[in-house]
Structure 1
Amino acid sequence: METKRKEATRIEITNVQELRRAEKEGLIKELHTSLYRGYVSRVKGQEVEPYKGRFGEGVKLLSCNQNSTRYSYVTYYIYTPKNEGNENE
């Protein structure tokens, strides 16, 4: 007997505007901000990358650090249960 499991459909966040809109709608929440070793250009601005790790699934926002060229900021955003693709909630 095969069971059909409905795949969760999540919104695809690819830029900062979509990230802010999803946070405002409650589809994603900010977890925390930390430093990571890497460079983010001040000219290019903030970057959004997908994230799947120990904090869950979501996106990470990479921001420049005005005080350092070696370390930049990373802010983790995690999908909320509201964004699991479950229509009954």
Structure 2
Amino acid sequence: GEIVHRLLQHGDVKEAVVLARKDERDEASLCGYVVSRGAFNASELRTYLKRSLPEYMVPSYLVEVEQIPLTANGKVDRRALPEPQGLLQTTG
């Protein structure tokens, strides 16, 4: 919740969801999905998050999506979100 809250405080972020995803090596990584208001810059967004969150809370992946998919119940449809392939950005 805190990571999403910080993302939503950024002026370019309209909506956000953060999930723990397992990679090819079965290791969990945080993945942030963002609906942006304009230009999406993952590096700038990561720098912004590092100012207020500890390193382990900064998502390893930041993926821009057109919209956050929802289930019929209005909850985030986690299975409909894309896998973050090849989008790993090293942190510092």
The normalised TM-score by structure 2 is 0.25
* Structure whose residues are more often helix by fraction: 2
Q: Which has the higher contact order (CA 8 A, sep 6+)?
A: 1
Could you say which structure has the larger radius of gyration? 1
